[in-house]
Structure 1
Amino acid sequence: MVDVFEQVEEELRSDRYKRLARTWLPVAAVVLVVALIGALGWWGWDSYNTNRAAKGAEAYDRGMEALRAEKPMDARAAFEEAVNVGNGAYKSLALQQQAGLAVSANKFPDAVRLFDEAAKASKDPILSDPPALKAAFLLMDTAPLEEIEKRLTPLTDDKRPLHAFAQEALALARLQHGKVKEAREAFVLLQLGQNVSDDVRQRASAAIEAIDAGTAGNLKDIIAAADKAPVAPVAAPTQSPALVGPAQQ
């Protein structure tokens, strides 16, 4: 009798396993297929980005070599190629170089457009903030204050890499448009700030002295000095931008 009971229980257990297999095996197969597709997709995207970074680096290096050889036409062509074939980082760098060539040719509207495109080409503030700041400086004498404030305010956050330069530019713009009190307060904060370069601190002190002495008419000289300040090096990364973090870039 015991053997009969054991045989019946074994049959029931076998039927239960079969039902479980029919229920869950298709689900497991779908999960495995989705995982495989995801892994292949990530591998393909990573390879695509790496390939674009390599092509962008090659074209960008040729552009820099042409600049050093004083061949602006060849440089412009190489940078255009880097924009078309490179990843976001090299596209941003190449657009900034093109904007620099436009500035040299006194084509300031083109330079502003190229700087704006460079700022949008990368989501990394280390790459996007320098061209955004340069575009604001180029528009300082012609654009309304509202546009300058719209451009600069996001860059003034303490977590942004060029926040001190952006705060200085915003103070200069407000001073230029007659907002003396707001400008002086910003210059004082820059003068006393901890994470402020000596150059920015000195220019802030000069601006405060000019405001207090009533000689803020020298503003153009201060703006020119700020505009020429090296806010960030525009050079090719030592590693592929697709493969390194923001700090390394």
Structure 2
Amino acid sequence: MVDVFEEVEEQLRTERYLALAKRAAPWVGALVATVVVVVGGGWGWTTYQNSQADKASVTLSKAAEAQQQRDESGAFAKYGEVAKSGTGPYKTLALLNQAGMRLDAGATDEAVKLFDQAAKTAPNAMVADFASLRAVYALLDTAPTADLEKRIATLSGDKRPFRMQAKEALAFLRLRDGKFKDARSEFVILQQNFDSTEGMRERAKAAVSMIDSGGAKAMADAAKLAATLPPPSQMQLPPGMQLPPEAGGAPQ
């Protein structure tokens, strides 16, 4: 986890705040296993281990194996079986995995729908908010402000399990929208709040420094311009030129 936060902080320091906003959520992916274990009885983890005869648990295991073997289509299909016929935590976990796979593939809208479904089927509030928070971060650089504000407000209540992460998302939203004064205020609060993680405080400190230096406006303008451009693979290039594979072009 330390390496993740260091990478995120470095991205912000090099003026890539949208990338930071997205990468501020790797802890979300890492929390999948943590949530399952910590919630304990709510997820029936012991039951899961002791009931391999149960069709949903067996199918879920096969899906995970397929994913480890990089059989993405096979894994997605297996998770889909559990999402359709499974119950309780199995159904929710299958939906979360499907959403994560779609998000990795760049299908954000489909991923968000799956996260929302997972939130509705979650066995408790902690897992529901976990799924909803993943949807927020998936939408953070593209969704309308009003939509995101509504989603974030739901997660920001005093007794919500991921309220601090939701408040951080709100700070990034203000930064995205060019509301630098509001963003700065939100980041300062994150710096001073005892409930913030060390990673949050470091990101907030770096964000405040960036805003005070005047670099935030240039980044926001660049981000808005970048959002209007087609993906690299769709750009028209001069004859004889190709994009490198990592930029979406054909292999050399």
Q: TM-score range by the shorter chain?
A: 0.5 to 0.7
Structure-1 residue corresponding to 2:151: 151
Contact 2:177 2:220 in 1 (8 A): no
Secondary structure in 2 matching 1:91: helix
Structure-1 residue corresponding to 2:241: none
Distance 1:219 1:125 in 2: 34
Distance 1:137 1:95 in 2: 17
Distance 1:145 1:123 in 2: 29
Distance 2:182 2:104 in 1: 33
Q: Cα gap change, 1:54/1:193 in structure 2, threshold over 3 Å: closer, same or farther?
A: farther
Distance 2:104 2:157 in 1: 30
What amino acid sits opposite 1:147 in the alignment? D
1:219: how far off? 6.4
What amino acid sits opposite 1:184 in the alignment? R
Contact 2:83 2:95 in 1 (8 A): yes
Contact 1:210 1:218 in 2 (8 A): no
What amino acid sits opposite 2:92 in the alignment? S
Q: How many residues align?
A: 172
Distance 1:143 1:106 in 2: 15
Q: How does 1:164-243 map to 2 (within 5 A)?
A: 164-216=164-216, 217-218=218-219
Over residues 213-249 of structure 1, what are the superposed CA-to-partner deviations in whole Å (9 max), with x where a residue is unaligned? Answer: 11114469xxxxxxxxxxxxxxxxxxxxxxxxxxxxx
What amino acid sits opposite 1:64 in the alignment? A
Over residues 157-208 of structure 1, what are the superposed CA-to-partner deviations in whole Å (9 max), with x where a residue is unaligned? Answer: 2322211111000111022113222222211111111121111111111111
Secondary structure in 1 matching 2:182: helix
Distance 1:139 1:112 in 2: 8
1:56: how far off? 2.8
Q: Cα gap change, 1:98/1:188 in structure 2, threshold over 3 Å: closer, same or farther?
A: same
Distance 1:198 1:71 in 2: 37
1:125: how far off? 2.5
Distance 1:219 1:93 in 2: 36
Secondary structure in 1 matching 2:195: coil
Structure-1 residue corresponding to 2:136: 136
Contact 1:171 1:183 in 2 (8 A): yes
TM-score, normalised via structure 2 length: 0.62
Distance 1:148 1:85 in 2: 31
Percent same amino acid at aligned positions? 39
Structure-1 residue corresponding to 2:249: none
Contact 1:93 1:127 in 2 (8 A): no
Distance 1:170 1:176 in 2: 10
Distance 1:123 1:174 in 2: 32
Structure-1 residue corresponding to 2:105: 105
Larger Rg: 1
Which residues of structure 1 form unaligned runs of 5+?
A: 1-49, 221-249
Q: How does 1:55-134 map to 2 (within 5 A)?
A: 55-122=55-122, 124-134=124-134
Contact 1:54 1:86 in 2 (8 A): no
What amino acid sits opposite 1:71 in the alignment? D
Q: Cα gap change, 1:126/1:54 in structure 2, threshold over 3 Å: closer, same or farther?
A: farther
Of 55-64 and 206-215, more deviation after overlay is shown by 55-64
Distance 1:104 1:176 in 2: 22
Q: CA RMSD in A?
A: 2.5
1:114: how far off? 1.0
Distance 1:178 1:70 in 2: 40
Contact 1:89 1:127 in 2 (8 A): no
> Does 2:151 correspond to 1:160?
no
Distance 1:183 1:108 in 2: 25
Q: Cα gap change, 1:110/1:207 in structure 2, threshold over 3 Å: closer, same or farther?
A: same
